[in-house]
Structure 1
């Protein structure tokens, strides 16, 4: 499903690197015109944020979750386990992508072992990767 150009796409970016988040947000906004991006610096903060959204208005859950693996407090794997345990998105509104600088095949295979995870994307992000991730047609 590619994002509709008129609809605002909501994205939750879960990464402990503030500089990387700043760059990722700029790139996403360049690739996608109508975006609402929220960043969480660790999995625990993201789980708390999503729990709050689920409790108040589940329709406001993000369309996409871009999840780093290596973070303090709660890493990406712990996030996925807790996300599933709490059943935060029973209607599967959010599409989860692992966004990681890890090149280890065991991380890639582990990511693909989670039914919740749509794909594993290697950092650094760039506009082309983002357009591919969101299924946006390339402009010629």
Structure 2
């Protein structure tokens, strides 16, 4: 299962609490299509591209996913 398959299955969970689960995408792709596709999933809070340094995830979380 890749990340897209996970998101497709995750949105099928019949539970409103899934809206409270922040999801961050980490990808090695720089394809702009990935960003557009990720925006189609309302539960995706934000994302990072690799390579990343050790501070990147901390910045993302401290910003509340609104980078």
Above 0.5 in TM-score?
yes
Bucket of the pairwise TM-score, normalised by the shorter protein: 0.7 to 0.9
2:38 alignment partner, one of 95, 107, 111 = 111
TM-score by length of 2: 0.77
Q: How many residues align?
A: 62
Indicate the structure (1 or 2) with the bigger Cα radius of gyration.
Answer: 1
Question: Can you give the 5+ residue segments of structure 1 that lack an aligned partner in the other structure?
Answer: 1-73
Contact 2:25 2:44 in 1 (8 A): yes
Question: Can you give the 5+ residue segments of structure 2 that lack an aligned partner in the other structure?
Answer: none
Alignment of 1:14-29 (within 5 A): none
The separation in 1 between residues aligned to 2:52 and 2:16, in whole angstroms, is 29
Root-mean-square deviation (CA), in Å? Answer: 1.7
After TM superposition, the runs of 4+ consecutive aligned structure 1 residues lying more than 2 A away are none
CA displacement, residues 102-131 of structure 1 (integer Å, 9 cap, x when unaligned):
110001110112101011210123222112
SS of the residue corresponding to residue 126 of structure 1 reads coil
1:130 alignment partner, one of 51, 57, 67 = 57
